[in-house]
Chains A and B, each alone.
Chain A
């Protein structure tokens, strides 16, 4: 009995040495954390596999990419609070800006480090209605009709919701020839038709698609396509409004984190590969509008032609838009105050 015990001790001691010995012979496994916003789950699932293949072929190292998803603002805050994200791929530049301005995790000129304002793919905002469009929704005007129930997330916490709001505002501003007071009334009427404000875009999609609440979902174009695809294509229909906004989700590597972990080269390559032919193709396949002419041509039939405004033209950039509309006491807060 005693020998047996001693033997098993010896065996377990030897076994415990095994993991110490192995890495010397195997290649490196690098781990990256990509902190992203809500509707990119499927995109990065595809892209991470493609990048791991590419990186393995190029360097021989294995790279494992972990994903974190949630409302864009919430995700940025997690990174500021210390979530060790190697890269962030968020819904809008303002949330990545916060990493620079609030926590100094990245340099202030981060947006110039990658092509196309660090936005490797774009999207826009469309309307998703139920089968047969029972409420006859054709454009933004129909969303303020009494009795139409509109689903959109909370712009305070969701990046997509801010794009939704700004697209509607842009439409109203054009309709009323730049009269801000009337645009404010329009947006107020629209949000009075909203019965529930989820914290992220995916939450709103779930509310609309799974719980069956609401007549129309204001949604990312890619999210709307995805909902169509998942439901088999016959339960919902996409309504393309006469005017929408060019949404530019932006990406950045987080300097403070990659410097500490020594993952800067791979994190940078990970984002740069998004601009490659393969990366652009995956974006198009997942219903994001690719930047490269080649991929854009390939998926041209998939994306409807929409007249798009940009945030710089209409709102003078994110900083201004954020302050005027979404900061405490901004227009979004005002429309909920009793008159």
Chain B
């Protein structure tokens, strides 16, 4: 919880640190972004529309946003369970499991992609059992979803853990002693407390998945109209020396991501109303 204090902080340096913040953000974030916008600014409107709204690009938006959304959703659900278990129950090997969660953070994405492809392709350990069932995991949209789920997990778990750790079990005991059922306790006592963190985790996992390239290109198969993700199309355009077309798609991706993240932030603010209510 944060609120603006009218009086001065006991520590000086607001002006200096704000200046630094603005400078740093401009240098690291805004400068490259504005370069992308400037590059597209030279395009005519029809050329821009053609670059960002051709059927192949539209198909890639559907896959990229769809798979990222689903993967973040799944991670939100299972990430909550993982975080809950890690925080609430002491068990042998907990430290180890805790460290495992971070692995998708640290692993180079290409390694993840190759490992997942080897696992899920028709002759892989997992893929050979899915193939007879008619499920094609690698080289299909499902493969994209699997890769994005893999890389998104730590974001949800790591944002939830500190919040869950602060949650006092006494609150739940009080709820139960006052006659609340198990689902009521979860839905009316626990969930409102962790909802903002849950949404943050979701937003982080979603944003990460949207930009993910390295692991997905190995497992997706890169088929036009079916399994091409938007970042791949950007690279493809670059490799055809179409720098403007590439930045045009990048701009669309940027604007939509920004709007979605803004929406999630608003949702978060709204969900905070339920806290301590």
Contact = CB atoms under 8 A, between A and B. Distances in A.
Interface of A: 71, 73-74, 77, 80, 98, 102, 154, 156-157, 194-199, 211-213, 326-329, 333, 336-338
A338 B226 CA distance: 11
A59 B123 CA distance: 54
Main secondary structure of the interface of A (DSSP, over half): loop
B217 A73 contact: no
A298 B237 CA distance: 43
Nearest to A335: B224
A210 B245 CA distance: 35
A91 to B, nearest CB: 13
Given A73-B240, A211-B123, A333-B56, 6 more contacts: A73-B239, A195-B223, A197-B222, A197-B224, A213-B121, A337-B56
B57 to A, nearest CB: 10
A328 B217 contact: no
Q: Which of B222, B225, B238 has the most CB of A within 10 A?
A: B222
Given A77-B239, A156-B240, A336 B225 contact: yes
For chain B, which range describes its interface: under 10, 10 to 19, 20 to 34, or 35 or more residues? Answer: 20 to 34
A336 B122 contact: no
Interface in B235-254: 235-242, 245
11 contacts: A71-B239, A156-B239, A197-B222, A197-B223, A211-B118, A326-B240, A328-B54, A328-B237, A328-B242, A336-B56, A338-B55
Contacts of A194: 223
Contacts of A328: 54, 237, 240, 242, 245
Q: Which of B123, B139, B241 has the most CB of A within 10 A?
A: B241
A327 B240 contact: yes
Contacts of B217: 199
B222 A198 contact: yes
B117 interface: yes
B223 A157 contact: no
Nearest to B236: A156
B211 interface: no
Nearest to A212: B123
Nearest to B222: A197
B221 interface: yes
A225 to B, nearest CB: 24
B239 A74 contact: yes
B240 A196 contact: no
Given A156-B239, A157-B239, A211-B121, A196 B56 contact: no
A197 B228 CA distance: 10
B1 to A, nearest CB: 47
Contacts, number: 62
A336 B236 contact: no
B222 A213 contact: no
A147 to B, nearest CB: 14
Contacts of B241: 77, 80, 98, 102
A213 B121 CA distance: 8
A63 B273 CA distance: 70
A197 B122 CA distance: 16
Nearest to B118: A211
Contacts of A333: 56, 224
Given A328-B54, A328-B245, A333-B56, A77 B238 contact: yes
A157 B236 contact: yes
Nearest to A196: B221
What are the 9 A-B residue pairs with the smallest beta carbon separation, nearest first?
A196-B221, A336-B224, A73-B239, A197-B222, A212-B123, A157-B239, A196-B139, A336-B225, A102-B241
Nearest to A74: B239
Contacts of A157: 235-236, 239
Nearest to A153: B222
A327 B55 CA distance: 15
A89 B165 CA distance: 59
A259 to B, nearest CB: 23
Contacts of B223: 194-197, 336
A197 B221 contact: yes
A338 B222 CA distance: 17
Given A196-B139, A212-B123, A337 B239 contact: no
Given A71-B239, A102-B241, A156-B240, A199 B222 contact: yes
Contacts of B222: 154, 196-199
Contacts of B56: 333, 336-337
Nearest to A157: B239
A90 to B, nearest CB: 13
Contacts of B242: 328
A61 B39 CA distance: 45
A149 to B, nearest CB: 10
Contacts of B240: 73, 156, 326-328
Contacts of B236: 154, 156-157
Nearest to A80: B241
A326 B237 CA distance: 11
